[in-house]
Structure 1
Amino acid sequence: MPIRIPDDLPAAGILKSENIFTISESRASHQHIRPLRVLILNLMPKKIETETQLMRLLSNTPLQVDVELVRVDARASRNTPQEHLDKFYGDFDRVKKQKWDGFIITGAPLGKIPFEDVYYWDKFKEIVDWSHHNVTSTLFLCWAAQAALNHLFDIKRETRDQKLSGIYKHTTYNHHHPLVRGFDDQFWAPLSRFADFNSKTIKANSDLTIFADDSDAGVYLAASPDCRQVFISGHPEYDANTLSNEYLRDLDEGLNPDLPANYYPDDDENQIPRAKWRSHGNLLYSNWLNYCVYQVTPYDLNELK
């Protein structure tokens, strides 16, 4: 089944060129099934790139998914045309009276900024609290995962001196759980963060189940017992060249970044990097949509508590 997106969203043409099954809003309106309603709060600066990456993963299931994009407010963006934001992004206050099957909150380039100094911190906390009663399952990515852990469990911020960037091999735990069904014992995933996701700290301060981690990089995947909150400390949605673009950007800004680990062939930044995490990323999103959302969400979303 397809992912349903606005007819003229830029991602639609990109996904069509990749032979990814999408369906226009006009065509979907004539189908007599209820699609899953998934809300995306996109906090990344390059919103078109991020929304396309996420929709690529959401489309890889037999379920029809109705995606809506939302922002915290109507501030202008330096990296996304204002007309795109005004046309495709609604404000959170407009959708908060509705119920949703799934919710994705992206990362944000706020690695070393204290939470209380983030201009939308109060709004972020409001949204996290709202999601607990109005969404079947929420997926927190990277910065959003760290921020939500702080708000929900008072887990203090831990940051690294040097940015953790690259592809890391994680070990899978609790193989019997549907969220990691089909996972290999170890898998690669992209990381790009200053945050430290310490497994001992998370175990001591929350009731979350840890499903994957790396001895150097820390926890990668964790979830609440009912999977209404799922935390991913990396970026399974990243394209093959995303980390390279970030590395070159940081070089241009004089930040002296480390070369992304396990990323460039022979650690040569002049060689073209190859993605070795796509199968894991697709499986993770497919499992989340199927087992954490579709299998448990009520047909009538008004019944959601």
Structure 2
Amino acid sequence: MEKSPLKIGILNVMHDKADTKTRLQHVLTHTAIPVDLHFYYPMTHYAGRTVPEAVSSILDPLDIHEVATMDGFIITGSPIETLEFDQVHYIAEVRTLLKTLSQHVPNQLYLCWGGMVALNYFFGISKLILPHKLFGVYPQTILDPHPLLKGLKNDFKSPHARYAEMDVRGIHADPRLTINATTTKGKLFMVTEPTDTQTFVFSHIEYDRWGLDSEYKREVAVHPEIDYVRAKHYYHHKNDYDHPKFNWKKTQRTIFDNWIQHVADHRNDNH
């Protein structure tokens, strides 16, 4: 009897929702394991106003009852990391989602801001604003090997794009948490907890070749008066911004493939 596809939910709170959906569809369907993807937006994000057609045409309103039936779930990043969590006007809905995930969904992957809000909700870890945006492609150091990192070697590349960092001292002080990898300068890449139910990744591993370039252009378009710095270690040649590198492709494929396999193995073990 052929097994049903893995049911994976994604709360998409990125600024470029269509591109994010396309990227995640690509990386989550890379293996031969069939998946059934469900993309959502938080309903309270649009409270009192009409949901833009560009959103409603590609995402569904978050359905907590449906979420509880998922094999795995992802919360994406969002360009709101400089806000306190309580300042995010849909935070109550996100916290309800997190509670539901902890009770019903055995495999949870949190990306960038998703990792920040989840690590704070589940473990009380504080978020700290960085003096400068961490923006570029950096080598990573493996501190504690993990199945999701299997196939990657020390100094594997990954893109970072954030204005905040979680309190590393608070993570070290919590025996339930392990820092599995950081940049070579100590900025977080991946944190896990002992049950391997929750994985917190602070890199935009889902970004395609143009992800960092698009983020730079978005910020410049919103605030042209600010002199934004372009992503570091990203372009092939100085002042040649038409040829960015995509040297984290192996990182992307390895981690997402390993996660999908992890979700499949967990379901098999429980049936």
TM-score (norm 1): 0.80
Q: Secondary structure of 1:212's partner?
A: strand
Residue 109 (structure 2) pairs with residue 139 (structure 1) = yes
Structure 1 pair 222–94 and aligned structure 2 pair: CA distance change class (3 A): closer
Residues 1:244 and 2:225 are matched in the alignment: no
Count of aligned residue pairs for this structure pair:
266
Match of 1:123 in 2: 93
Equivalent residue number for residue 12 of structure 1 = none
Deviation (angstroms), 1:74: 6.6
Give, in whole Å, the separation in 2 of the partners of 1:61 and 1:250: 34
Rounded Cα–Cα distance in structure 1 between residues aligned with 2:257 and 2:22: 16
Which 10-residue stretch deviates more, 163-172 or 243-252?
243-252
Identity %: 28
Give CA-to-partner distance per residue, 1:166-204, whole Å, 9 cap, x none: 0011012333x3221111122110011011145333121
1:85 shift after superposition: 3.2
**Shift in Å, 1:209:** 2.0
**SS of equivalent to 2:182:** strand
- The answer to whether 1:153 aligns with 2:114 is no
The aligned residue for residue 178 of structure 1 is: 147
Distance 1:287 1:48 in 2: 25
CA offsets 1:132-156 (integer angstroms, 9 cap, x no match): 1211111100011111111111111
Q: Is the 8 A contact 2:140 2:183 kept in 1?
A: yes
SS at match of 2:191: strand
State the superposition RMSD in angstroms. Answer: 2.3
DSSP-derived class of the 1:55 partner = helix
1:297 CA displacement: 2.2
- Residue aligning to 2:204: 235
* Structure 1 unmatched ranges of 5 or more: 1-30
- In the superposition, relative to structure 1, how do residues 58 and 251 fare at CA in structure 2: closer, same or farther (>3 Å)? same
Task: Measure, in 1, the Cα distance between the counterparts of 2:148 and 2:46.
Answer: 37
Amino acid at match of 1:227: D
Paired with 1:284 and 1:199, the residues of 2 have a C-alpha distance of: 22
Write out aligned runs for 1:72-151 (5 A). Answer: 72-73=42-43, 82-93=52-63, 95-96=65-66, 98-151=68-121
Deviation at 1:256? Answer: 1.8
Question: Is 1:192 matched up with 2:192?
Answer: no
> Whole-Å Cα distance in 1 between the matches of residues 88 and 175 of structure 2?
24
Of stretches 91-100 and 225-234 in structure 1, the one that deviates more from structure 2 is 91-100
How many Å separate the matches in 1 of 2:65 and 2:227? 41
Deviation at 1:98, TM superposition (A): 3.6
| Contact 2:67/2:101, CA 8 A, preserved across alignment | no
Deviations 1:50-98, CA, capped at 9 Å, x for gaps: 0111111111112000101111107559xxx933533442222354464
2:220 and 2:19 mapped to 1: Cα distance?
A: 21
Cα distance change of structure 1 residues 215 and 186 upon mapping to structure 2, 3 Å threshold: closer
Match of 1:17 in 2: none
Which residue in the other structure is 2:183 paired with?
A: 214
